[in-house]
């Protein structure tokens, strides 16, 4: 039985694409011993608990902002302590982040233990400059050397998209980088609901017979460009509304924008919605949209495809691995509609095109669902990771 120590800056109850990936993969691989080191976030969370197949060890003082910066050191010492008992075969770093620095320290002190780096990042590397107020010189001195350390120390590497593979190569990684994408819980997002259940939700959200819902499941941050969707409502009929599932630091800014553009009554901020009931919201909606400025892969798009609704996205980062628009990719079977970055008018035109061409839309939705079922099923992804381990 392989013994694997995972280094992850965040983990449940914080939920993002990377955290879901670790959970889905480890729950499907039963012939490995899994331990995971992460930040404590707050004092209410236990320092140790078992989540699925993983023993989770939280380190830090219980304040998220400080724990992130202390993680390289606390995580390293925790790893040394755990290794005395478990004698790990592999250290697995999830993303090149604060946790990866701890993983790199561990590799330096325990060189015989193989270090696997998995790139899951959704933000561009420039985003790291926020820690030094956007200053390039300070970034190169204080942030970049630590960020690049794991690329120098990794024995093996995987990336969830071609875009992230190229990032690893540009950062000087020496080992081969294998592409193993994230997946989708196919059964969960393709499930059917009875009419009464969906109708109840429609009535709660005031979806009349003539209303059309655009929907997104997104963190409310700049990179997801939800402001462009709100701006696009100015060019669309009054019956088209926008459901926002998610929360984040830009919520207040987005609410003010909707009010300023006089579309406040057409934008519904629903906050964080439990993943268990998310498919229901997708099923009552007409178009999924997120005109991202960057994406590592984009699990939310794949989930929407599995739920059988049309998808609008940019061609940023990992999105190009699965969203093909025949107008821009003539040699590919269409799986969605591509939109330019920062272009609300183009968003509006594509929304109209989808709604006005139901037969063509059905074909694209069917193509997308077939692709997700064949390539992005978590069972397939977990098997690929198991073989890699």
Q: Quick: pLDDT tens for 213-239.
A: 999 999 899 999 999 999 999 999 999
The pTM score is 0.89
**For residue 102, is pLDDT > 90?**
yes
CATH 3.40.50.300 is right for the domain spanning 2-180: no
pLDDT for residue 318: 94
The domains of the chain are located at 2-180, 186-375
Helix axes 64-86 and 98-109, enclosed angle (nearest 10): 30
State the sign of the Cα–Cα–Cα–Cα dihedral 301, 389, 103, 86. positive
Give the domain 186-375 fold. Answer: Rossmann fold (3.40.50)
Q: Summarize pLDDT for 338-356 with one digit per residue, the tens.
A: 999 999 999 999 999 999 9
pLDDT for residue 159: 97
Q: What band does 42 get if pLDDT is binned at 50, 70 and 90?
A: confident
**One fold for both 2-180 and 186-375?**
yes
Higher pLDDT, 329 or 30: 30
**For residue 123, is pLDDT > 90?**
no
């Amino acid at each position: 039985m392989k013994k694997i120590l995972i280094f992850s800056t965040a983990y449940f109850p914080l939920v993002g694409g990377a955290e879901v990936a670790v959970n889905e993969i480890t729950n499907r691989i039963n012939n490995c011993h899994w331990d995971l080191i992460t930040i404590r976030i707050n004092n209410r969370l236990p320092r140790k608990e078992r989540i699925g197949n993983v023993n989770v060890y939280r380190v830090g003082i219980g304040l998220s902002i400080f724990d992130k910066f202390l993680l390289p050191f606390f995580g390293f010492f925790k790893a040394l302590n755990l290794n005395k008992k478990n004698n790990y075969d592999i250290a697995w770093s999830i993303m090149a982040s604060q946790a990866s620095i701890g993983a790199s320290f561990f590799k330096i002190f325990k060189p015989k233990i193989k270090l696997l780096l998995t790139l899951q990042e959704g933000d561009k590397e420039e985003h790291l400059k926020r820690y030094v107020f956007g200053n390039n010189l300070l970034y190169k001195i204080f942030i970049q050397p630590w960020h690049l350390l794991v690329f120098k120390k990794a024995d093996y590497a995987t990336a969830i998209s071609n875009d992230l593979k190229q990032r690893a190569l540009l950062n000087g990684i020496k080992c081969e980088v294998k592409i193993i994408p994230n997946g989708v819980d196919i059964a969960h997002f393709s499930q059917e609901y009875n009419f009464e259940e969906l109708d109840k939700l429609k009535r709660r959200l005031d979806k009349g017979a003539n209303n059309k819902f655009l929907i997104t499941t997104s963190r409310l941050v700049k990179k997801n460009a939800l402001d462009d969707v709100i701006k696009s409502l100015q060019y669309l009929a009054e019956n088209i509304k926008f459901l926002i599932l998610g929360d984040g630091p830009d919520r207040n800014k987005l609410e003010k924008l909707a009010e300023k553009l006089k579309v406040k009554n057409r934008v519904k901020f629903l906050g964080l919605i439990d993943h268990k009931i998310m498919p229901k919201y997708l099923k009552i909606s007409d178009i999924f949209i997120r005109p991202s400025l960057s994406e590592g892969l984009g699990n939310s798009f794949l989930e929407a495809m599995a739920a059988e609704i049309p998808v609008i996205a940019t061609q940023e980062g990992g999105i190009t691995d699965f969203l093909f628009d025949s107008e821009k990719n003539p040699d590919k079977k269409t799986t969605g509609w591509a939109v330019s970055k920062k272009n609300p008018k183009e968003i509006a035109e594509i929304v109209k095109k989808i709604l006005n061409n139901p037969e063509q839309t059905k074909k694209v939705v069917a193509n997308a669902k077939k692709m997700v079922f064949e390539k992005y099923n978590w069972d397939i992804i977990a098997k690929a990771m198991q073989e890699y381990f």
